[in-house]
Structure 1
Amino acid sequence: MYGEAFVDAGELKLDAHVDEIRFLTPDVARVEGRSRLSSPAADAADYARYSGLLVQKDGAWRLAELREYPAFVEDVSPHERLKDLEWMVGDWVNEGERDKVTAEIKWAENHSYLIRTYSAEIDGRKESSGTMFIGWDPQSGQIKSWLFDSQGGRGEGVWTRTAENQWVVKSHGVLRNGLPTSSTQIHTILNKDSVKTDSIDRILGGQVADDILDIVMVHKAPAPGGGATKPK
């Protein structure tokens, strides 16, 4: 049954972790653990607990029974929920003739959130900046982001993985004057060092705004002498 399911599903990946092995007799053992089932097209992985009964016969251990149960919420750490966004960590930049956008993304303490700080400049003058927290929302069962900008506005987004190299973020918020904003951002991973973002369906201050397309952020090269020190 499981073999057929994986053949039909294509690129599903199953990771299993053993928590405990108990020998009921010298030839019978109970195995308890946790599993993670993920797919490139899924917005979040599925987590479960499992219990297996192993029987030793003719010198080999064979699986006689396998049962699966929903995982308890506390079984899955926030870091585990966010592992598919780990590619974001680092320093990023997009630089044009007059404008420049930089972003730093790092893990919060205990890897419970991703923190993104950004700054936008025009002709060398800072125009805006802000901080975004990206984390798992246990109430809705989704990855969400919360943005606070330097002008006093705020926003919230829901992250969905739509392909192996693509995430879509549905965002809404308010400007400092209370007028609404919303957009759909499509983040496409081009390679390990570059990401293209398209911002569409934009509403700014209650008015329809132009799409912003083909914004490519690249990993910023480290400053001279800023590399990691090699151990002696």
Structure 2
Amino acid sequence: MSRFAVAALCAALVAPVVQAQQPAASAPTKPSQTSPTPPAAASKSAPPAADDTVAVQQAMAAYIEAFNRHDSEALLDLWSPTGTYVNKETGERSSGREALATDFAKVFAATPEIELSGGIDAVRVIGGDTAIVDGVTTVVVPNVEPAVSAYSAIFVKQDGKWLLDTVHESDLPTPETPRQALQPLEWMVGAWQDESDTATVSSVMRWSPSEAFLIRSYDVIREDEEPFQGQQIIGWDPAAKQIRSWTFNSDGSFGEGVWSKNGAEWIVRKSETLADGRLASGTQVITQIDADTVTVQTIAKEIDGVLEPTADPVTMKRVAETTAAAASPAAAAPATGAAR
């Protein structure tokens, strides 16, 4: 299946996963997933439709867990016997558990390090036994550009259990302008600051004059060290249909990243050339807590192929631009350079 279609359809079913299930103390190797409300948290007086929505989300969570275990048997148990996958762009179609089992086996054999992330735009329960889920998924395979797709999935309730019945996958609609493509990041525009025991981090995000790019300036100040400054340009790549970024730092290092959305998180897969010529890579997780709070953390960071310890998340708070400018030695968005 083209563009790892089966993997993409799996991602389509897996956006809300319990974040607490990810190991907290050890260095993570993939971005965390957002979580549906567990059944125990649902109100006893909630209407049936609300209960069914939670149940569908629970089915999705079970799906991603099975996929990440490469457990084809568990995956197939979450499909109806006549489950069907359709790629609307290519016309490819797989129907029935036997055909899906073959596809899963091919995907897991060809891409053992495949990772999935996804977001849900809407869950609609119809008539008590059918649910429609719409959203966007990202499929990541090492050394391959992430594949982003839109999906529409239909669940059916059989014997009290929600099962996947149909998935339609298609390319994302192409934004008419770069600004439209970057609109989901507009909440970052403004000034942000963090003051920890070891450093002061300040950052300002603004639109370029033509609003075709977002431009971020950031500073990291540590006692008895030269200030670390950088600038990041974020833009839309119409050929790859992805948000990309290019970063330039005061020590001469530079890098680039590919952005994808996963619920309340933005995942930035980065590569960088350090000032001394070494090569670095990692995944940056930017999580919007509320309108004025964001956390930034880099996970799975490697330098010349050697895994580095994972630093704690940096928490940034929105501030007045005059405050950020006063804290910065340079001319005054959450500082993605802060969690390097």
The two structures share one fold, judged by TM-score above 0.5: yes
Cα distance, 1:139 vs. partner? 2.1
CA distance in 1, matches of 2:172, 2:272: 33
Query: Aligned pair 1:170/2:269, yes or no?
Result: yes
Are the counterparts in 1 of residues 149 and 172 from structure 2 also a CA contact under 8 Å?
A: no
Query: Aligned pair 1:136/2:236, yes or no?
Result: yes
Equivalent residue, structure 2, for 1:154: 254
TM-score, normalisation: structure 1: 0.64
* Corresponding letter in the other structure for 1:97: D
CA distance in 1, matches of 2:258, 2:317: 23
Q: Which among 278, 281, 297 is matched to residue 198 of structure 1?
A: 297
Q: Which among 170, 186, 201 is matched to residue 285 of structure 2?
A: 186
Q: Deviations over 1:164-222 (max 9, x none)?
A: x1110000010122210111011110000010112110113553211122211111135
Cα distance, 1:123 vs. partner? 1.9
Equivalent residue, structure 2, for 1:90: 190
Judging changes above 3 Å, is the alpha-carbon distance between structure 1 residues 100 and 72 closer, same or farther for their aligned structure 2 residues? closer
Give the greater-gyration-radius structure (CA): 1
CA distance in 2, matches of 1:129, 1:217: 17
Give percent identity, aligned residues only: 28
TM-score, normalisation: structure 2: 0.45
CA distance in 2, matches of 1:10, 1:120: 35
- Structure of greater relative contact order (alpha carbons < 8 Å, 6+ residues apart): 2
Are the counterparts in 1 of residues 265 and 286 from structure 2 also a CA contact under 8 Å?
A: yes
Judging changes above 3 Å, is the alpha-carbon distance between structure 1 residues 222 and 147 closer, same or farther for their aligned structure 2 residues? closer
Unaligned segments of structure 2, at least 5 residues: 1-52, 57-118, 124-133, 139-147, 151-170, 326-340
Cα distance, 1:97 vs. partner? 2.4
Q: Deviations over 1:122-167 (max 9, x none)?
A: 127543111000010112110000001111111110000011x111
SS of aligned partner of 2:313: strand
CA distance in 1, matches of 2:308, 2:222: 20
Are the counterparts in 2 of residues 40 and 161 from structure 1 also a CA contact under 8 Å?
A: no
Query: Aligned pair 1:221/2:320, yes or no?
Result: yes
Are the counterparts in 2 of residues 115 and 131 from structure 1 also a CA contact under 8 Å?
A: yes
Structure with greater strand percent: 1
SS of aligned partner of 1:110: coil
Are the counterparts in 1 of residues 204 and 321 from structure 2 also a CA contact under 8 Å?
A: no
Please tell me the root mean square deviation across aligned C-alpha atoms, in Å.
Answer: 3.1
CA distance in 2, matches of 1:82, 1:40: 18
Judging changes above 3 Å, is the alpha-carbon distance between structure 1 residues 211 and 10 closer, same or farther for their aligned structure 2 residues? closer
SS of aligned partner of 2:186: helix
Judging changes above 3 Å, is the alpha-carbon distance between structure 1 residues 220 and 71 closer, same or farther for their aligned structure 2 residues? closer
Equivalent residue, structure 1, for 2:121: 11
Structure with greater helix percent: 2
Query: Aligned pair 1:208/2:318, yes or no?
Result: no
How many residues matched? 169
Cα distance, 1:42 vs. partner? 5.1
Judging changes above 3 Å, is the alpha-carbon distance between structure 1 residues 206 and 128 closer, same or farther for their aligned structure 2 residues? farther
Judging changes above 3 Å, is the alpha-carbon distance between structure 1 residues 214 and 142 closer, same or farther for their aligned structure 2 residues? same
Unaligned segments of structure 1, at least 5 residues: 1-6, 14-38, 47-69, 227-232
Are the counterparts in 2 of residues 131 and 148 from structure 1 also a CA contact under 8 Å?
A: yes
Judging changes above 3 Å, is the alpha-carbon distance between structure 1 residues 94 and 155 closer, same or farther for their aligned structure 2 residues? same
